[in-house]
Structure 1
């Protein structure tokens, strides 16, 4: 591979944010962080000065992207609620009320099919091993796949319903305003 090929391709796996500016590297690091982490550890991962990391983490805290936990030293973690809110806003912006309603209906149909197939109200109520043993058609892998899809469909339906409600409320405000 020539040097130009390497420069045009994605960054090396070990350094996914090396070509980004420091703000993007810190943001990318916080996206990958699953537990409260010190600014120094984030700075190490983002390859920047801890003081710079604290500056951006403070800004991300103000925006709600991270949650700051006071302590000695303070720690930061990704605010999953912010990203959920952002996803719902994007769905509401990208789809009409009718499209959102149609998607809620599709997901509700899929969920109902799983509830009937497994005679349960939620995937958590299903014992996968028992369900596979009691079926001539489903392997344990099929059951786990169904349960994962079912759980995802429930989460997605909730997001689409919240986006639909948001979009409906916005349209009402615009019509009355």
Structure 2
């Protein structure tokens, strides 16, 4: 039996974008960037000329993918609002109003269960240490896991509700047009 070719597997983590073209490497780097970064730093990370990096970053800024901050030198940061908008559009395009409503109901039910379990209106209102100490069956890790899931469910419900409203608007527009 022959050994699998290393080229068939994923690239090493340190060089995850090595096989991509420059545009894809810059895009991938921007996705991982959590704070404003110069074009030169991004160019260094993707091993391209800073002018090339600036060209693509300016284009990404026009598309709304990144935010450019003026300064000397200018810096660029991933625009999280763009990716949120994109995800909502994707949900609205791929799912029916009924599917989106079902998901909103499921998430609302999960959120209600957490509100009842912790006698609170939001995860931020829960003292995790006290909740774990008051429970015979929940460890502090269980409580933190619940709070994380609760917060995620709230964010996801908001996303699905926005997609549902968008889809309803599009469906109503088509029906009247």
* TM-score when normalising by structure 1: 0.97
Looking at structure 2, the residues matched to 39 and 48 of structure 1 have their Cα atoms a distance apart, in angstroms, of: 10
Query: What corresponds to 1:7 in structure 2?
Result: 7
Give the gaps of 5 or more residues in structure 2: none
Query: Over aligned residues, Cα RMSD in angstroms?
Result: 1.1
Moved over 6 A (4+): none
* Post-superposition offset of 1:143: 0.3
**Which structure 2 residues correspond to residues 55-74 of structure 1 after superposition, within 5 A?**
55-74=55-74
Give the gaps of 5 or more residues in structure 1: none
Looking at structure 1, the residues matched to 156 and 19 of structure 2 have their Cα atoms a distance apart, in angstroms, of: 33
Aligned length: 176
**Which structure 2 residues correspond to residues 128-143 of structure 1 after superposition, within 5 A?**
128-143=128-143
Looking at structure 1, the residues matched to 155 and 47 of structure 2 have their Cα atoms a distance apart, in angstroms, of: 35
Looking at structure 2, the residues matched to 140 and 81 of structure 1 have their Cα atoms a distance apart, in angstroms, of: 33
Query: What corresponds to 1:108 in structure 2?
Result: 108
Query: What corresponds to 2:144 in structure 1?
Result: 144
**Which structure 2 residues correspond to residues 54-93 of structure 1 after superposition, within 5 A?**
54-93=54-93
* Post-superposition offset of 1:52: 0.2
The one-character-per-residue Cα deviations of 1:64-107 (angstroms, maximum 9, x if unpaired) are 00000000000000000000000000011110000000000000
